[in-house]
């Protein structure tokens, strides 16, 4: 959809049988066939954008608006529709589907539906800007890793969205990807070939063969398109961008394999190459099954540390011309003679809780840093409170209760409604880590390697998990609340099913004691260790952790934003590293004077809070100008 300035204004007749559809720009009826020119008395078609088996697509003006608005009209093919049973019902079902899909900002919105004597028409929003196909024709060597990365990072979430609505696009190619003016992201258009899958059993049935030659997956060419067929087409689109050659010229029939690397116009990293190879694998079981799986591999493989440093920024992905987000300190709290060892943010994001070295557990207001309440250290052997340093703290899912643990082996439940407390039964020693699942299953890690697991209730004896051989240093629960991940000084990472506590896997590949654990929404596990390494682990390769960070001092804390867009890494030398996980190859480095003790993001992912041995709590916010 390029600029209209070079095209003379005219009005086109939409009668498929019209011998001369061009008419004067203000004409009311066709001079050749006499049919009214305005569809539904308001849409004036000005230019044919494309046509195929499903009908024609026009650039039009909606004269029913003030001022008139450019739009796109898709005229459904009467030859096809009238031969289909219940074609009127099917047309309106498709319109309803497009209305839902069009709510995504990277899919044209459905503005109107016309079902009249003139025919069946869908009116969609006009997206200004050229297609990638038009850009490639102007500059054949346009493609490179940066552009391909942008295509993947911006369109894979769109595929996840449409697949989540049980729709397969079936015609992804350069011509159907529009590049609007910056800073808008790429837009996926032309859902004329899209297929709705109401029942998974439909995926096994043979349907009409639809798609563009060269781009369509093998199973789609046989009339059996699945969600992974769109992933194949998007991968082939990327190969076209990287080489400037049509997919027909990149596939060797003799070798039955893609041969694209010799034709790339610029070097491509091994990480991206591996992702593309799997996307375009002709064998369905060996191809990515979901867009989320592609994004996960793309996200983490692009962060791999090679030879002690992350890959060159020249392979980074530009953010559609928008400025990169930045982190700035909003305010800092100075603590009078004590350190916040543990940290948790409330589910609503309005408060934080800290487990402190003086034995207190304190609540702070996230908006201004004011202290809300302090649960003081016990003044005697029988008083409620910690009798030594508090090490860990966690909020329940409702945010009305916090749980703290410390060197004194006490596990205390604090009620935030009346600030009362209760000691919970735990028989271990030196509580070192806490985690609470969304269903309020409580996990407690201790210095003797034991993990206590059970519902957060009064008087219930928890299960004891005894597989770690040394102190449990970190605990984390995955986004779904189905998996508990533990790390220990015994150099192992262990995965436990929730709420049963069944050990499902032990990762023995770490080479140093584990110091921190975090779970990403995509299912990856990130670990930090005593050697200063940040590593990523996946179910596909549990014995091969990908190193994405190297610090000259031990990693002391990890946190992943709820959005999955940011990874925060704290180190013993006081450095706080924020890594952008959106494919921007952006790393921000902030500092404390001494070792970082704990990190946590707010639920909106726009603030990260850090505590340090320098007796401060710092609140870092995303710069609203850069976001």
Same domain assignment for residues 18 and 157 = no
Average pLDDT of the residues in 44-68: 88
Residue 614 within a domain: no
**pLDDT value, residue 445:** 95
Give the three-state DSSP class for 353: strand
The verdict on 99 and 140 lying in the same domain is no
Tell me if residue 62 is catalytic: no
CATH of the domain at 263: 1.10.510.10
Dump pLDDT digits (tens) for 69-108: 999 999 987 554 455 556 677 788 888 888 999 999 999 9
Same domain, 523 and 450: yes
Domain final residue, candidates 65, 92, 125: 125
208 and 72 within one domain: no
- Domain tally, the chain: 3
Note whether residue 443 is domain-resident.
yes
The pLDDT value recorded for residue 84 is 53
Q: What pLDDT, in 10s, does the model give residues 238-281?
A: 999 999 999 999 998 888 899 999 999 888 888 899 999 999 99
Length of the chain: 627
Residue 250 gets which letter from DSSP? T
Residue 323 belongs to some domain of the structure: no
Q: What is the CATH number of the domain that holds 49?
A: 3.30.200.20
What is the average pLDDT value for the chain, to the nearest integer? 88
The larger pLDDT score, comparing residue 133 to residue 202, is at 133
- Structure-derived torsion over alpha carbons of residues 38, 39, 45, 50, reported in degrees to the nearest 10: -160
User: How far apart are the C-alpha atoms of 141 and 522, rounded to whole Å?
Assistant: 34
What is residue 210's predicted lDDT score, i.e. its pLDDT?
65
Of the residues 171, 190, 407, 408, only one is catalytic, namely 171
Last residue of a domain, which of 78, 105, 125?
125
The domain that contains 593 carries what CATH number? 2.130.10.10
244 in a domain, yes or no? yes
User: Residue ranges of the alpha helices (H) in 131-215?
Assistant: 132-138, 145-164
Residue 341 is assigned to a structural domain of this protein? yes
Residue 612 counted as domain residue: no
Specify the pLDDT at position 144. 84
Residue indicated by tokens 């002709």 = 282
Q: Are 129 and 178 in contact (CB under 8 A)?
A: yes
Residues with Cβ < 8 Å from 120, sequence gap 6 or more? 75, 76, 78, 81, 88, 91, 114
408 with 516, same domain: the answer is yes
pLDDT of residue 566: 95
Residue 559 has pLDDT above 70, yes or no: yes
Is residue 5 predicted with pLDDT exceeding 90?
A: no
Q: Which of 250, 284, 315 is the last residue of a domain?
A: 315
Whether residues 385 and 487 share a domain: the answer is yes
Q: What confidence score (pLDDT) does residue 86 get?
A: 64
Query: Is 180 in the same domain as 199?
Result: yes
pLDDT at 306: 57
User: Does residue 166 share a domain with residue 142?
Assistant: yes
- Report if pTM > 0.85: no
Mean pLDDT of 538-552: 85
Kindly state whether residue 322 falls inside one of the protein's structural domains. no
Question: What tokens were used for 607?
Answer: 């603030």
Domain assignment present for 201: yes
pLDDT band at 33 (very low <50, low <70, confident <90, very high): very high
Q: Are residues 121 and 140 in the same domain?
A: no
Report which DSSP code applies to 285.
G
Would the pLDDT of 16 be above 60? yes
Percent of the chain whose predicted confidence (pLDDT) is above 70: 89
Question: Which of the pair, 611 or 380, is modelled with greater confidence?
Answer: 611
Q: Which of 167-171, 440-444, 505-509, 595-599 has the highest mean pLDDT?
A: 595-599
Residue 279, judged by CB atoms within 10 A of its CB (0-12, 13-18, 19+), counts as buried
Q: In angstroms, rounded to a whole number, what is the distance separating the alpha carbons of residues 501 and 496? A: 5
Does residue 491 share a domain with residue 371?
yes
For 393, residues 6+ apart whose C-beta sits below 8 A from its C-beta are: 342, 343, 344, 353, 354, 355, 361, 402, 403, 404, 405, 434
In the Cβ-directed half-sphere of 549, how many Cα atoms lie within 13 Å?
34
Shared domain for 373 and 462, answered yes or no, is yes
The domain of 280 spans: 132-315
Confidence of residue 311 (pLDDT cuts 50, 70, 90): very low
Residue 53's pLDDT is what? 67
Residues 161 and 196 in one domain: yes
């Amino acid at each position: 959809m390029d600029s209209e300035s070079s095209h003379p204004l005219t009005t086109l007749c939409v009668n498929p049988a019209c011998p001369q559809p061009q008419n004067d720009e203000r004409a009311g009826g066709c001079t050749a066939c006499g049919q009214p020119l305005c569809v539904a008395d308001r849409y004036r078609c000005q230019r044919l954008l494309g046509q195929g088996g499903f009908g024609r697509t026009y650039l039009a003006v909606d004269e029913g608006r003030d001022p008139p608005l450019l739009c796109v009209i898709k005229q459904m093919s009467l030859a096809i529709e009238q031969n289909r049973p219940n074609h009127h019902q099917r047309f309106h079902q498709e319109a309803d589907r497009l209305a839902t899909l069009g709510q995504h900002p990277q899919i044209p919105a459905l503005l109107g539906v016309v079902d009249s004597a003139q025919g069946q028409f869908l009116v969609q929003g006009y997206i200004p800007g050229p297609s990638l196909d038009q850009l490639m024709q102007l500059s054949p060597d346009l493609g490179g890793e940066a552009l391909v990365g942008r295509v993947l990072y911006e369109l894979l979430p769109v595929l996840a969205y449409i697949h989540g609505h049980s729709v397969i696009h079936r015609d992804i190619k350069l011509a159907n990807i529009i590049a609007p003016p910056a800073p808008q992201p790429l837009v996926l258009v032309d859902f004329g070939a899209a297929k709705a899958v109401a029942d998974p059993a439909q995926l096994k049935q043979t349907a009409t063969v639809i798609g563009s030659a060269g781009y369509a997956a093998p199973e789609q060419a046989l009339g059996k398109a699945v969600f992974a067929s769109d992933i194949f087409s998007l991968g082939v689109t990327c190969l076209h961008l990287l080489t400037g050659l049509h997919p027909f010229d990149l596939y060797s029939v003799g070798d039955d394999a893609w041969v694209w690397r010799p034709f790339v116009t610029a070097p491509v990293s091994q990480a991206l190459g591996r992702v593309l190879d799997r996307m375009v694998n002709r064998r369905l079981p060996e191809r990515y099954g979901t867009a989320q799986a592609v994004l996960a591999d793309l996200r983490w493989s692009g962060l791999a540390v090679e030879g002690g440093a992350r890959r060159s920024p020249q392979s980074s992905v530009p953010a559609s011309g928008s400025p990169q987000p930045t982190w700035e300190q909003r305010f800092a709290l100075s603590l009078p003679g004590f350190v916040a060892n543990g940290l948790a943010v409330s589910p609503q994001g309005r408060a934080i809780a800290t487990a402190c070295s003086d034995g207190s557990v304190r609540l702070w207001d996230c908006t201004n840093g004011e202290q809300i309440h302090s649960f003081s250290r016990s003044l005697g052997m029988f008083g409620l409170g910690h009798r030594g340093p508090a090490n860990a703290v966690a909020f329940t899912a409702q945010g009305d209760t916090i749980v703290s643990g410390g060197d004194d082996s006490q596990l205390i439940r604090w009620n935030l409604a009346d600030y009362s407390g209760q000691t919970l039964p735990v028989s271990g020693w030196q509580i070192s880590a806490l985690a609470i699942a969304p269903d309020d299953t409580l996990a407690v890690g201790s210095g003797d390697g034991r993990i206590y697991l059970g519902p957060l209730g009064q008087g219930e004896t928890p299960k004891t998990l005894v597989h770690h051989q040394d102190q449990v240093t970190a605990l984390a629960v995955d986004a779904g609340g189905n998996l508990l991940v533990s790390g220990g000084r015994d150099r192992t990472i262990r995965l436990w099913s929730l709420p049963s506590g069944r050990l499902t896997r032990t990762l023995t590949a770490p080479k140093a004691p584990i110091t921190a654990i975090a779970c990403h929404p995509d299912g990856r596990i990130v670990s930090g260790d005593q050697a200063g390494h940040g590593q990523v682990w996946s179910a596909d390769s549990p014995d091969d952790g990908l190193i994405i960070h190297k610090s000259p001092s031990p990693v002391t804390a990890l946190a992943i934003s709820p959005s999955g867009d940011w990874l925060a890494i704290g180190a013993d030398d006081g450095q706080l590293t924020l890594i952008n996980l959106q494919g921007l190859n952006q790393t921000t480095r902030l500092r404390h004077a001494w070792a970082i003790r704990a990190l946590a993001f707010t639920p909106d992912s726009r603030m990260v809070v850090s505590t340090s041995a320098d007796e401060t709590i710092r609140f870092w916010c995303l710069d609203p100008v850069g976001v």
